[in-house]
């Protein structure tokens, strides 16, 4: 269990309701993922047997599903909901595909009708 991050029923505490029951679009509802990421990093640091600090974290999360990462080689307009960016290249105003370590998709509804931007990009 992640300290103060998860509830007794293993739900993210910051989500007081199911995402599908919250008003606002994905951008608004899932903005809390940045806080959850920070909480997870804090728990990892607190439970490590070494002298880890926040400076040792090599990635940062960016939650901005309305912005497409840039690429010098491609004009892909795919917009993942969030992504982990290499921390030494992190810039909240622009993201480059070469700096992305992990794509994240957050959906308010279950089902195949919801577009999965990461799958579209990767051709799945």
Q: Give the pTM.
A: 0.71
pLDDT tens for 62-109 read 887 778 888 877 666 778 888 888 888 767 777 888 888 888 888 777
Q: What percent of the chain has pLDDT over 90?
A: 0
Do residues 22 and 108 touch, judged by C-beta distance below 8 A? yes
* Per-residue confidence (pLDDT) for residue 1, from 0 to 100: 44
Q: Domain limits of the chain? A: 19-122
Alpha-carbon separation of residue 118 from 51, 59, 92 (angstroms): 35, 19, 20
Alpha-carbon separation of residue 61 from 17, 34, 98, 123 (angstroms): 23, 6, 15, 23
Mean pLDDT over each residue of the chain, to the nearest integer: 78
In this model, does residue 113 exceed pLDDT 60?
no
């Amino acid at each position: 269990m992640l300290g103060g991050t998860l509830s007794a029923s293993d739900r993210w505490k910051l989500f007081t309701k199911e995402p599908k029951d919250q008003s606002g679009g994905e951008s608004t509802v899932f903005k809390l993922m940045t806080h959850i990421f920070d909480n997870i990093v804090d728990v990892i640091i607190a439970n490590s047997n070494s002298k880890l600090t926040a400076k040792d974290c090599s990635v940062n999360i960016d939650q901005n599903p309305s912005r497409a990462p840039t690429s010098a080689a491609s004009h892909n307009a795919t917009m993942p909901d969030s992504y982990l960016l290499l921390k030494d290249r992190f810039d909240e105003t622009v993201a480059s595909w070469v700096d992305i370590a992990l794509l994240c998709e957050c959906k308010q509804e279950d089902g195949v009708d919801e577009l999965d931007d990461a799958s579209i990009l990767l051709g799945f």
